[in-house]
Structure 1
Amino acid sequence: MSDDRTADHTQVQDFFSARAADWDRRFPDDGPAYAATVAELGLREGARVLDAGCGTGRALTPLRAAVGPSGVVLGADLTPAMLEAAVRAGRGVDGHLLLADAAALPLRSECLDAVFAAGLIAHLPHPAANLRELARVVRPGGTLALFHPIGRAALAARQGRRITPDDLRAEAVLGPLLAGAGWHMTSYVDEDRRFQALAVRLP
């Protein structure tokens, strides 16, 4: 692993390790927004889906409900403390948890039907390359949901900052970024109650 990548990992792990134990208590009302975006992925019984950067696993239960008992649900996260919190919350029964980097997934190419990613894009050190890695593991025609339980303006206000024109989640920035990584953005929602960008894996 390169020094840059090690530094990226350490920064992300330090940030989330310090917050893992209280994460769900801090954001107790996000469940309906997660479920709504999972529903829009259009998953079928038996589908194979990854929650990339799964954190405490809040998407795993609706993902399991969408794909049924014959489907495959994976949750990958870089921070052991987040995965431990997912297990404590009982969400490990809904998916197989992996300690893994979304930028270098231990999965074969085109093995998935969909990827769900909540809040992930803000923590990707190399977004173009990292989105290409997500495209690698999804079959052509498969889907990607980039999600956050509140919109850009609400999140910026919560964090005491302003949205800048180069914000990765801005529609004018995100669309071309996805296209260059092998995705076609099919819908974009940015409102106070959620941010959601859906994309289809190009051939």
Structure 2
Amino acid sequence: MTRHDPADVRAFFTERAADWDSRFPDDGPAYAAAVTGLGLRAGDRVLDAGCGTGRALPALRAAVGPDGVVLGADLTPAMLEEAVRAGRHRGAALARTDVTRLPVAEGALDAVFAAGLVSHLADVREGLAELARATRPGGLLALFHPIGRAALAARQGRQITADDVRAEPRLRAVLAASGWRMTSYVDEDARYLVRAERVRGG
């Protein structure tokens, strides 16, 4: 399983932050649809883990309403600056932090939304376990990407490899080892969306 050094991840996204949204201008509806599929309720407390430029934040805020809490966490200051510049921080709290060390109490969250996060974690199991720690039993997790694994690999000029942690069998096992139970898995050209539930007593 590939490990990603946080400093390298930060450098990668720092270089790309300024034009990130202009490179992927049509992803908005896919983010909104994924948030809808998470099944959030008014008043929920939700984290956008690896929020980047904040493309999911407005939809998350709309889903939880004025009594809910939306937190966006990202490792890269330049990405958070772009979220603010785009006005997506309104109604959300932004934190510059590694999602493997969240400034959130145990069981404080009702749900976690994570777009593209798994591919950039230094240790996938550790990262998913930290998200589980911060989420109440029965809470929800959505791992999302606006295109599927094959389409993303084609865009990047590479092949899907056998050790891809986002493949269903591997991801199901890692989630289970991290305090989650996978409830659905979709990997198609137009969407990658995995949903999981925080295991009770796990």
Q: TM-score range by the shorter chain?
A: over 0.9
How many Å separate the matches in 1 of 2:165 and 2:86? 31
What CA deviation, in whole Å up to 9, does each residue of 1:16-65 have, x standing for no partner?
00000000000000011111110111100000000000000000000000
> Does 1:19 pair with 2:19?
no
How far off its partner does 1:105 sit? 0.5
Runs of 4+ in 1 over 4 A off after TM superposition: none
> Does 1:46 pair with 2:43?
yes
* TM-score normalised to structure 2 length: 0.96
How many Å separate the matches in 1 of 2:107 and 2:94? 19
SS at match of 1:19: helix
How far off its partner does 1:137 sit? 0.2
Q: How does 1:1-203 map to 2 (within 5 A)?
A: 8-203=5-200
What CA deviation, in whole Å up to 9, does each residue of 1:75-108 have, x standing for no partner?
0000000000000000110311101110110111
**Equivalent pairs: percent with the same residue?**
67
How many Å separate the matches in 2 of 1:173 and 1:165? 10
How many Å separate the matches in 1 of 2:166 and 2:91? 29
Alignment length (residue pairs): 198
How far off its partner does 1:139 sit? 0.1
SS at match of 2:73: strand
Letter in structure 2 aligned against 1:112? L
What CA deviation, in whole Å up to 9, does each residue of 1:118-170 have, x standing for no partner?
00000011111111000000000000000001000000000110001211110
Structure 1 portions without partners, runs of 5+: none
How many Å separate the matches in 2 of 1:166 and 1:140? 30
How many Å separate the matches in 2 of 1:9 and 1:168? 18
SS at match of 1:28: coil
Letter in structure 2 aligned against 1:165? A
Structure 2 portions without partners, runs of 5+: none
* TM-score normalised to structure 1 length: 0.96
